[in-house]
Amino acid sequence: MLQAFIITLREGVEAALIVGIVFAYLSKIGRNELKRIVFWALGAAIAASIGVAIVVAHLNFNSDIIEGWVMLAAAVFVVSMIWFMHKTAHSMKGEIESKVAKFTGGEDGVSRIGLFLFVFLLVLREGVETVLILSAVTLNSTELLSFTGTLLGIAVAVVFGVLFIRGSVKINLQRFFRVTTVILYFVTFQLVVSGLHELSENGVLPSSNTEMRLIGPIVRNDLFFFVTMLALAGLMMLLEYKRRTPVEIPSTATPADKRRAEWTQRREKMWMSAVVVTSFVFIFLSTAEFIYAKSTTALSPTTDVTLVGSQAIVPTSQITDDQLHRYGVHVDDGKGGTAEVRFLLYKKPDGNIVSVADACHICGPVGFYISSQGITCKMCASPLVPQSMGQPGGCNPIPLHSTIGGGEVVIEAADLRALAPVFER
């Protein structure tokens, strides 16, 4: 439950932070009527994400490919938002309003469409991910806790978005632009890298071991982006909180006006304090989750197997669960030496035992482990569909031919020797 809560919280807070920036910006420039566009975009994205998930589930489309293209499209609109904010940040408030009026008041409504698509694509990306996770949940005892954790994560992310909007409305416009622009650059970089990773992994774009060695660590350690964005948001609020000085109340003000002014100041500081506290609580929880997750990424020990004649033989009695069983065989490398070839035996959901190399064509012999997402590549953190084990393509382990009979899994030495070059990288 806690793991589902943290994962959903991270995804939700990222989306809430961006949408919160849009709301706060519209409030600052006095264009509250455009918030209706944002609400429409949110509703459309939620509906579209559910629709996309249903279509993918029924037509067997590759959801990773769809997500990859959505990420790249969202990155384009984030860049357009950064450019627009950069242009307006150097103008006075009146000039900002006139420019926005020029862009939004036209008959073509180009800016309105851009605002709609900006919010729509960002929320759609998070929505598709979330719905696809929820679609795999059935209400038994363990998965019910995960489902509950997911709903709690979404709820807390929404609360954070409200706190951020409330706390940032009165912040200095220049400071607001500087900090939120940095946040948006981080979002853009994350979207581009993650989108390229999804498309490369699924063969849409060409990929290589070198590319994955560059992209893999970034995707694998995406918590860095989340923590950095939260820290920047919290820091912006903290600096504004410390900068604030009590507003001088005219001596001619009535007692009611004085109480109203004092309450307004307390309320603004309360919202800012709430954002700072929740930001760093989220950072603490995410860091704890990251440390825990790191402890589960270590590869399980390799069991040595000795060739019997020209075969490697493993009893099927050792493969009775849904874990990865890792083995190693020393074979002739064809250069006068020997090389250790690692292979995995895995019992698929349909009950069949499959043999694969503990390596893939894209990332090399880095190995696979089981995480909260399932079978995962150690290089690029790409989760695999369990039933696809033994099939070529993407980041799937390299298939390894074997025969099963008489209670034994038998692998020919020639098939193992063919993998020696892979493990010499």
Each residue's pLDDT, cut to its tens digit, for the chain (425 residues) gives 545 565 566 566 667 767 777 787 777 667 777 888 888 888 888 788 777 767 755 655 556 677 677 777 777 766 766 676 566 555 534 443 444 444 445 444 556 777 788 788 777 777 766 665 444 443 333 455 566 766 777 777 777 677 666 665 555 556 666 666 777 777 778 778 877 777 776 667 776 666 666 776 666 666 677 777 777 777 777 777 777 666 676 777 788 877 777 777 777 778 777 777 877 777 777 777 666 666 566 788 899 988 888 889 999 999 988 889 999 998 887 777 788 899 999 998 888 899 999 988 777 888 888 876 678 888 777 777 788 888 887 678 899 999 998 899 999 999 998 888 888 76
- Residue 166 has what pLDDT? 67
Q: What is the DSSP string of 205-229?
A: S---HHHHHHHHHHHHTTHHHHHHH
Helical H segments across 221-347, by residue range: 223-243, 255-295
Residue type, 411: I
Query: If DSSP states are collapsed to H, E and C, what string results for 339-356?
Result: EEEEEEEEECCCCCEEEE
- Residue 411 has what pLDDT? 92
- Predicted structure pTM score: 0.53
In 3D space, the residue among 114, 92, 94, 119 whose CA is nearest the CA of residue 104 turns out to be 114
What fold is seen in the domain 303-424? Rieske Iron-sulfur Protein (2.102.10)
Domain ranges (residues) in the chain: 2-295, 303-424
* DSSP conformation class of 203: T
